[in-house]
Amino acid sequence: RKEVEQDPGPFNVPEGATVAFNCTYSNSASQSFFWYRQDCRKEPKLLMSVYSSGNEDGRFTAQLNRASQYISLLIRDSKLSDSATYLCVVASPGGSYIPTFGRGTSLIVHP
């Protein structure tokens, strides 16, 4: 069965901390990778796409390791507003790339 696995957490960190999340996927044919953020009872919102070379957007850095089939998200200098659930999403080729969501990792940033 094709799955995306994440540590559910919660990760409870103080403001200013650096925190890292990992995600593993089982379908080696996966082509597209994303991190989404979901606030409680809200819709998922794209945080960043994940490229093979790794990419950075401000305090957020995403890495992809195809050989080991995992994706990581690093958040530096955590803010209270970063508290949310972070969803790993992997899209595998079908006719139009079917996305599979992980269950999400919960992050709580406290003062």
Residues that bind another protein (CB under 8 A): 31-32, 34, 38, 41-46, 49, 87, 91, 94-104
Distance CA 42, CA 28 (A): 30
In the complex, the smallest distance separating the C-beta of residue 97 from another protein, rounded to whole angstroms, is 4
In the complex, the smallest distance separating the C-beta of residue 77 from another protein, rounded to whole angstroms, is 25
Tokens 């992980």 locate to: 102
In the complex, the smallest distance separating the C-beta of residue 44 from another protein, rounded to whole angstroms, is 5
CB closer to another protein, 11 vs 36? 36
Contact 104, 38 (CB under 8 A): yes
Residues 6+ apart with CB under 8 A from 65: 71, 72
